[in-house]
Structure 1
């Protein structure tokens, strides 16, 4: 799947938004990818995760997929389906990611940490810590979209389906055209 085909999937789902958005990191952006919209169609979700799964090297030998809630739940589930392995998700009941609902990882389970969108990589790194604490071994990270502008760094290989270079700004350093538009927060996580 080419980058244009991936973006066409987002456009068809009305999931590529333009405006003034507050990201879960607190940064501001003129574009937002609402992955929940693109993933609400199971066939579209399958096409995207199947395309991403096809890029993963077989030598990763993935045993399970684990994703952070909320945004990564559907993407992670679909990636588990694509790879034919169990899919689990992490929650933050007390502010820190943990496996719940009877999910568990046997020591040494080879895990793909799956996200919908990576902006700063903070949630992904927090998720990887939780996976390790639960006994899993993160062998790679993946996301439908990397919008970190190459800034997200992980201690494992990172496989995004597409990379989008979309600027993001601190709230007190907005360009005038963005400052002139009311800000909206389309994501699921409250800003600290």
Structure 2
């Protein structure tokens, strides 16, 4: 799947938004990718994740993954579909008092080869937090995935990161907003509460 084909999925579902957005990292942006709008269509989710699973198999090997783990909330649908495409069990971490942990009886066998699967990576902060939980539970994170790497390849999550495309979407410090965002209200479309 080409980057243009990936963006077509986002455009056709009105998931590529323009405006003033407050990201979960605390940074601001004038563009936002709302993966939930794309993933609400099962056929699109299957198509995107099939292409991403193929990249994982090409990069790590055909039988290189035992489990897929995703951070809730944004990664849950992608994680489920990646697990289905790779033919392995999938589970997710969720925040309790602001910190990711496994709940709902989810456990990893010691040494299980795990792919951490996310919808969008911007700074990599949520991915890194999720990877730490997987490692602490005895898993061996062999790679990470995201539909779109918004960092344009600059985010380092500590393991190979596979994405369908890299995209440069500028982000801004709240104290250094460009003129076109100054004086406009920021919308917070993400799933993480800021403290």
Q: TM-score range by the shorter chain?
A: over 0.9
Runs of 4+ in 1 over 4 A off after TM superposition: none
Aligned residues: 192
- The whole-number CA distance in structure 2 between the counterparts of 1:156 and 1:18 is 31
Once the two structures are TM-superposed, the CA of residue 149 in structure 1 deviates from its matched residue by: 3.1
Select the residue among 101, 108, 112 that pairs with 2:111: 108
Select the residue among 64, 69, 72 that pairs with 1:69: 72
- The whole-number CA distance in structure 2 between the counterparts of 1:177 and 1:74 is 34
Once the two structures are TM-superposed, the CA of residue 58 in structure 1 deviates from its matched residue by: 4.5
Select the residue among 68, 84, 88 that pairs with 1:85: 88
1:2 is matched with which residue? Answer: 2
1:44 is matched with which residue? Answer: 44
- The whole-number CA distance in structure 1 between the counterparts of 2:73 and 2:149 is 17
1:131 is matched with which residue? Answer: 134
For structure 2, the residue ranges without an aligned partner over 5 or more in a row are none
Once the two structures are TM-superposed, the CA of residue 180 in structure 1 deviates from its matched residue by: 4.1
SS at match of 2:55: coil
For structure 1, the residue ranges without an aligned partner over 5 or more in a row are none
SS at match of 1:91: strand
- CA RMSD between the two structures: 1.1
* TM-score normalised by the chain length of structure 1: 0.97
Once the two structures are TM-superposed, the CA of residue 93 in structure 1 deviates from its matched residue by: 1.3
* TM-score normalised by the chain length of structure 2: 0.95
